[in-house]
Structure 1
């Protein structure tokens, strides 16, 4: 059993972070599905051996994966999380992305994978879609775990990122063993980006084309100079520099805007706006600038050799949308260990 190959399928694969995590844990990722053209371009740059189906998942023909029928060890389902996110003011509405979670059901029924992992933001379990999903899985003779909140910072990621994880397995013993995920040593912002050189303005001569400082207005630069190093916030701004939209609102409203990261702590949750300090605590701990794309990628645990396609905004979106590869690697390693035991 030790030398057995374990095969995986990645649904909603995005730019390939989950695939990377599964590969690092020893899985052979045979196929993936995603719809975003630029994310798919990034995926192919880094995982050229994987059969990537670039299509709306609702249009995918299941016969495409006949080689995995009853031969699939792990199905990863990381459907778009925005409908369930606490940041989404329209969550639980008629957003048709909610139904995308259930699109995995036809893959499950057809392929009968040994193990399934669903990853999403906390909140999915409170939606009717979760009840439908659980009912379907039980009907397919799967054992289903309770939804569990996992913080990426507890799994070796230098970022606080709480996700909802749901497991399903054909074997109760397999489910119990795989769900026993062990905490990893915590990592800080300094651990992730402390060795990077100072970021300079973008130019064709940059050694690292993802490590450049964004151009900030003179007014914003003045604001940044007033925000204390190493974890400071906009609440230190003198009155004349406070933004109009922040005047008169409680301190707990949008507390992270214009905030600095702390060297010795994990970063806050990175979003698609992770290089824009007006959208979160994305100011460098020391320098008067937003973090760079390279720093954001490292805080998400992408290796420096990982290639990204697209312009700066598209790359930031791919980074912010990703499941940290290290987080997925720890989860997938626990699943592979259980599969190896043959339980």
Structure 2
């Protein structure tokens, strides 16, 4: 149980560009360490969290002892947000030999070394049915943790203006598991609430002094014409005349990619943002009104990043960092419950 005289300590594994760390800080945690392999994401992380000890390395090569200087005793919270691509429903080339399949288990040495009071895992729902997940859950129980049932949470219920269903698992030792999973829901925040105040962006790279993330992609003349035929505020490609439809779309009216070229709806949350979230050919990522895809700034807001959060890298790299992120507002809402549990004696 944590003394109220200090902030609980957290370690962020697979930290990416720092969205989980941001949410945890907002919830009142002291994030002291992080690990990630991606150079661009690590550059963004350092720009926003210079106070955190970040190790840029393959986690399989990182000794938990590397964090001994910032974790002098037991750890309060260990967060495990391993890359989800191997288990994603959008991954149509899943391979049992994918080296990322067992990354969840790389958290075990850190659990053994620091004996965290709470272990929190977040991933796509597809992980739940994998042998990797089952083995990790069994290991936690054998090590004395009380483990929650896997829970599916939609970020839209936690103050994120986006439909994003994730699976979470909480394991607790010495603290209240029931309190840890008592996550308060909040009212829906819409696309208009989130990006409706932004001005029409320049096309291409913005001029000096302009918001570096708020610029529109240079669409082809053909795609502009397509967007002009798609109704504002939620329209889709089914409205396109035959001569503007892609051949593959004419052949398959009900394909699994039916949201491509679709517009977001002002009065609703956005669809799930992906790494291609500023590309109208990759999903329902067209602006509700204007004839363009959403900008990086709009995507970042829809992921609940504050405007002051800095992203490093080119447009493609920033889009990937935004699309891969755990929404900070979602992590803050969860973090509030996890923090509360640390002040309550468990079984």
TM category, shorter: over 0.9
Tell whether 2:296 aligns with 1:296.
Answer: no
Tell me the residue number matched to 1:78: 81
Q: Answer yes or no: is the 8 Å Cα contact 1:156–1:327 preserved in 2.
A: yes
Which of 188, 192, 195 is the aligned partner of 1:193? 195
- Cα shift at 1:66: 1.9
- Cα shift at 1:70: 4.2
* Equivalent-residue separation in structure 2 for 1:5 and 1:312 (angstroms): 36
Which of 52, 62, 65 is the aligned partner of 1:63? 65
* Equivalent-residue separation in structure 2 for 1:69 and 1:133 (angstroms): 26
Q: Answer yes or no: is the 8 Å Cα contact 2:35–2:59 preserved in 1.
A: yes
* Equivalent-residue separation in structure 2 for 1:303 and 1:5 (angstroms): 23
Q: Answer yes or no: is the 8 Å Cα contact 2:206–2:214 preserved in 1.
A: no
1:212-251 aligned within 5 A: 212-251=215-254
Query: What is the RMSD of the two structures over their aligned residues, measured on CA atoms?
Result: 1.2
Q: Answer yes or no: is the 8 Å Cα contact 1:115–1:167 preserved in 2.
A: yes
Question: Number of residues paired by the alignment?
Answer: 342
**SS of alignment partner, residue 52 of structure 1:** strand
- Cα shift at 1:3: 3.0
Which of 110, 113, 137 is the aligned partner of 1:110? 113
Q: Answer yes or no: is the 8 Å Cα contact 1:84–1:92 preserved in 2.
A: no
Which of 248, 254, 258 is the aligned partner of 2:257? 254
1:1-343 aligned within 5 A: 1-67=3-69, 68=71, 70-91=73-94, 93-171=96-174, 174-201=176-203, 202-343=205-346
- Cα shift at 1:115: 0.3
Q: Answer yes or no: is the 8 Å Cα contact 1:11–1:76 preserved in 2.
A: yes
Q: Answer yes or no: is the 8 Å Cα contact 2:15–2:21 preserved in 1.
A: yes
* Equivalent-residue separation in structure 1 for 2:72 and 2:122 (angstroms): 23
- Cα shift at 1:263: 0.3
Q: 5+ unaligned residues in a row in structure 2: which ranges?
A: none
- Cα shift at 1:134: 1.1
* Equivalent-residue separation in structure 2 for 1:222 and 1:334 (angstroms): 48
Q: Answer yes or no: is the 8 Å Cα contact 2:249–2:255 preserved in 1.
A: no
* Equivalent-residue separation in structure 1 for 2:74 and 2:232 (angstroms): 53
- Cα shift at 1:204: 2.6
* Equivalent-residue separation in structure 2 for 1:342 and 1:239 (angstroms): 64
Q: Answer yes or no: is the 8 Å Cα contact 1:7–1:73 preserved in 2.
A: yes
* Equivalent-residue separation in structure 1 for 2:337 and 2:13 (angstroms): 20
Compute the TM-score of the two structures, normalised by the length of structure 2.
0.96
- Cα shift at 1:205: 3.0
**SS of alignment partner, residue 97 of structure 1:** coil
Q: Answer yes or no: is the 8 Å Cα contact 1:21–1:328 preserved in 2.
A: yes
**SS of alignment partner, residue 331 of structure 1:** helix
- Cα shift at 1:71: 2.1
C-alpha offsets along residues 204-260 of structure 1, whole Å, 9 cap, x if unaligned? 335201100110000000000000000000000000000122121132431100000
Q: Answer yes or no: is the 8 Å Cα contact 1:121–1:162 preserved in 2.
A: yes
- Cα shift at 1:114: 0.3
**SS of alignment partner, residue 170 of structure 2:** strand
* Equivalent-residue separation in structure 2 for 1:87 and 1:59 (angstroms): 29
* Equivalent-residue separation in structure 2 for 1:253 and 1:266 (angstroms): 20
